Structure 1
Amino acid sequence: MGVSLAGFESLAVVERDRWASDTIRENQRNGFPLVQDWPLWSGDVREFDWSGIPEDIDLVAGGPPCQPFSMGGRHKAFGDARDMFPATVDVVQRLKPKAFLIENVKGLTRSSFANYYQYILLQLEFPEVVRRDGETWPAHLKRLQEEKTSGALHLNGLTYNVVPTLVNAANYGIPQKRERVFIVGFRADLGVEWSFPSPTHSYDALLHSQWVTGDYWDHHRIAKKHRPEIPGRMVNRIHKLSSELLPQEHKPWRTVRDALADVPDPRKRGAESFRNHNFQDGARAYPGHTGSPLDLPSKTLKAGDHGVPGGENMMVRDDGSVRYFTVRESARLQTFPDGYTFHGAWSETMRQLGNAVPVALGRVVACSVAEQLALTQLRHLASQRYRKQA
């Protein structure tokens, strides 16, 4: 959806999860514009027929399953049958897109995966240096390293300039502290110079708005007597902020309260006007399972292996009590439009949301890629006109 908002038209949308596929189909039946014309294919990406997709398309975008690398997963990487990075590289090698955009969990960068992470990046840099039958991945990594140092393929083979970046979604206006890895690559022959978009929001700007100017509380119409006290551990930092000039381009982190300001409690009048906004009972707090405060971005929403991990999917209300986020509230935290509905039971829809990329963050990254591709096309057209004139 973020890629669509950036102006790309999808030639294929491949989704293995049947519940997520049903959600897309339901929104297509409802006429939701962003997904209305998606050519959805529900199944394993390794079984998709790519013959109908031309080479040299603008973009391949996707998120290989994160469970092989997730803190909540099994940590098996290459040994996990759900590792779809080999399939991702295969698609890039087949389609030779001008660019690719891949998202995965922060766990991919852990020291225990260091060699495999390097292996992934080198495969994406040299997708035509394919793994041989019976070759182990460490042996393939060695060949890729030799290819990189030799520089031979850079002259005439298919290569990509690959830029991996660890990102906190909160720094881009997402009301959620969600750290993820984005791997962006441009085909080397295009000569693109690209860097990851600069952050637009910051924690310091939020603290300044809350505790120096008070604008945050004024915006939410919270009287001074009802405002919380400055956390003791933050006093020195806030005192320092009161005497500093913050970067003008940084806005305050968006909080849970910001994101849900106009969404009524699911048990109160008016809640029925919001889709997927039903109360879910059973939330309780205990050590390590404490929920998200209203006046910070939420904790990372997670899918979990067995049901929904309640600690990440609870809010802590002003009176200290906790309750689960509804599906609609979770969708707000993931920056899905309110008109987009989710198919399935509560646990299933929350799993879809926990696996998702925040729509607004996807749009930010995809827009920066689209801008570079457009500039490349303009340079190409200008060069053609120059040659004709000459």
Structure 2
Amino acid sequence: MTGQQLRVIEICAGAGGQSLGLERAGFEHELAVELDQNAVNTLLHNRPHWKVAHGDVADLNVWNPADYAPAEGRLPIDLLAGGVPCPPFTIAGKQLGATDERDLFAWAIEQVDVLRPRALLLENVRGLSLPRFAGYRQHVLDRLLEFGYVAEWKLLEAADYGVPQLRPRFVLVAMAAQEFAYFHWPEPAGQPPTVGEVLLPLMAANGWEGATSWAAKADDIAPTIVGGSKKHGGADLGPTRAKRAWAKLGVDAFGVHDTAPPYPASRPMTEYGPKLTCDMVARIQGWDDDEFRWSFTGRKTSVYRQIGNAFPPPVAKAIGVSIARALRHEGVPRNVGNDVDHDPVYRVLQGASSYLTSDQIIKRLDGRVDVAEVEKRIAMLGRDFFIEMQGEAETVAYRLGEFRAFRGQEDHIRHDEFGKNRSKVS
């Protein structure tokens, strides 16, 4: 099963971080879909032969997943991949999850049943791995199982794959059981280079005499690059805590510069040290002049956001290689199954045919939780699912209702909210 060309459809493709990594892993793009025009321009600048659809990924006028489903004379797509919007799950945000109009995770899962790809890869922020979204994660696994796919979540750290940055990403991979048996998460690649090692050539490009001593001080990996939102300001390296971490590395994180030092008198270096350029930020994200060469189009703030919101190419390549090996049945198979219990209270409510009180839920879980834990979990579930209740006070009973998330429903609030806020969606 070796040698065949693997094809990918990438949704919410951004400016090409995941795109380039998957290409280096052996995947050829059948289609890339992206909302932001600047990112679309960057994709086509680097890969003019790609088919890139510009617009809302959930709009059938932009692309119709059914057009790429298996049919007579048309093989299934090997991989459906994407980095759907992260604000619904980010730790720094409101964690609205399924009620955030930007949430496309549940919609993407539903497209698996339409496209029937051989594999699925979705990545998002670390916040999706928190207890707040345990029910959401369980629903995703259960839904994929209904479609005939085995799936696993895993928190991966970009620094483990050669990226000089503290950048955890929560990744979901799914395949049919016979393929997933050959899937193994990529092993860490060793110690990443430091910020100083990676950026020294760029810092010294204009003859700055202090470049070498600066690089020696910048002897650690970077904090997470924050791409930011169209709703807020320009290019900036992150909140106060991140700025303090950058200062320890000798970097002024209050903005992004146009050039490497030395700087003109009109814009001198501050006490914190030099500012990064967009090219330097790209190096921190894993782009380079060799395997991951890439160019960005647009004005500085747009370019910075394209880079900062991207999935690091080396991480995407590492996962892509593991998926490609599994699809080709390479390596040693393992026993697999969707047996991870992300939220036991969700499990009980989902499988119940009637309303259940807290005591009944506790009994079905053999006392593994108490009343306080049941109520806490139901409160969290209520943010992503409709929870039906009957009774009062100590006798209140619960039943799990419909998932609140947008999955393609024509009457969902997402349509109105997205339409009003489209220009601000990042």
TM-score band w.r.t. shorter chain: 0.5 to 0.7
Displacement, 1:332? 0.6
Which of 332, 336, 342 is the equivalent residue of 2:287?
Answer: 336
- The aligned residue for residue 317 of structure 1 is 250
Displacement, 1:101? 0.9
SS of 1:107 mapped into structure 2 = helix
- The aligned residue for residue 317 of structure 2 is 363
> Is the 8 Å Cα contact of residues 286 and 314 (structure 2) preserved in structure 1?
yes
> Is the 8 Å Cα contact of residues 77 and 116 (structure 2) preserved in structure 1?
yes
> Is the 8 Å Cα contact of residues 72 and 304 (structure 1) preserved in structure 2?
no
> Is the 8 Å Cα contact of residues 44 and 50 (structure 2) preserved in structure 1?
no
More off after superposition, 166-175 vs 69-78: 69-78
Which of 183, 189, 202 is the equivalent residue of 1:200?
Answer: 189
Which of 98, 118, 129 is the equivalent residue of 1:109?
Answer: 129
* CA shift in 2, pair 1:346/1:71, >3 Å: farther
**Deviations for 1:263-292, whole angstroms, at most 9, x for unmatched residues?**
1357x359xxxxxxxxxxxxxxxxxxxxxx
- The aligned residue for residue 258 of structure 1 is 197
SS of 1:199 mapped into structure 2 = coil
Which of 57, 61, 76 is the equivalent residue of 2:77?
Answer: 57
Q: Which amino acid aligns with 2:169?
A: R
> Is the 8 Å Cα contact of residues 109 and 144 (structure 2) preserved in structure 1?
yes
- The aligned residue for residue 222 of structure 1 is none
Distance in 1 separating the partners of 2:33 and 2:94:
25
Does residue 38 of the first structure (1) align with residue 50 of the second (2)? yes
Q: Which amino acid aligns with 1:45?
A: V
> Is the 8 Å Cα contact of residues 69 and 115 (structure 2) preserved in structure 1?
yes
> Is the 8 Å Cα contact of residues 310 and 324 (structure 1) preserved in structure 2?
no
SS of 2:202 mapped into structure 1 = coil
Question: 1 or 2 for the larger relative contact order (CA 8 Å, sep ≥6)?
Answer: 2
5+ long unaligned stretches in structure 2: 1-19, 71-75, 209-216, 252-269, 334-426
Distance in 2 separating the partners of 1:191 and 1:77:
28
Instruction: Write out aligned runs for 1:293-312 (5 A).
Output: 294-305=218-229, 306-307=232-233, 308-311=235-238, 312=242
Does residue 19 of the first structure (1) align with residue 34 of the second (2)? no
- The aligned residue for residue 219 of structure 1 is none
Displacement, 1:198? 1.6
SS of 1:262 mapped into structure 2 = helix
Instruction: Write out aligned runs for 1:375-386 (5 A).
Output: 375=329
* CA shift in 2, pair 1:87/1:264, >3 Å: same
**Deviations for 1:217-250, whole angstroms, at most 9, x for unmatched residues?**
xxxxxxxxxxxxxxxxxxxxxxxxxxxxxxxxxx
Please give the root-mean-square deviation of Cα atoms over the aligned residues, in Å.
2.6
Distance in 1 separating the partners of 2:103 and 2:36:
15
Displacement, 1:105? 0.3
Q: Which has more helix, going by share of residues?
A: 1
- The aligned residue for residue 263 of structure 2 is none
Displacement, 1:320? 6.7
SS of 1:78 mapped into structure 2 = helix
5+ long unaligned stretches in structure 1: 28-34, 127-157, 202-251, 271-292, 380-390
* CA shift in 2, pair 1:51/1:113, >3 Å: closer
- The aligned residue for residue 158 of structure 2 is 169
Q: Which amino acid aligns with 2:38?
A: W
Q: Which amino acid aligns with 2:41?
A: D
SS of 2:200 mapped into structure 1 = coil
Displacement, 1:25? 2.4
Distance in 2 separating the partners of 1:191 and 1:253:
29
> Is the 8 Å Cα contact of residues 68 and 75 (structure 1) preserved in structure 2?
yes
> Is the 8 Å Cα contact of residues 174 and 360 (structure 1) preserved in structure 2?
yes
> Matched residue pairs, number?
268
Distance in 1 separating the partners of 2:121 and 2:87:
19
- The aligned residue for residue 353 of structure 2 is none
Instruction: Write out aligned runs for 1:81-92 (5 A).
Output: 81-92=101-112
Distance in 2 separating the partners of 1:174 and 1:309:
20
Q: Which amino acid aligns with 1:359?
A: P
SS of 1:183 mapped into structure 2 = strand
> Is the 8 Å Cα contact of residues 182 and 329 (structure 2) preserved in structure 1?
no
SS of 2:90 mapped into structure 1 = coil
Instruction: Write out aligned runs for 1:43-192 (5 A).
Output: 43-47=55-59, 48-55=63-70, 56-126=76-146, 158-190=147-179, 192=181
Displacement, 1:335? 1.3
Distance in 2 separating the partners of 1:323 and 1:262:
14
**Deviations for 1:42-74, whole angstroms, at most 9, x for unmatched residues?**
111112223432422211111110111012333
**Deviations for 1:332-361, whole angstroms, at most 9, x for unmatched residues?**
111124442212222221111121000011
Displacement, 1:191? 5.8
**Deviations for 1:139-190, whole angstroms, at most 9, x for unmatched residues?**
xxxxxxxxxxxxxxxxxxx311111110111111111110111111111254
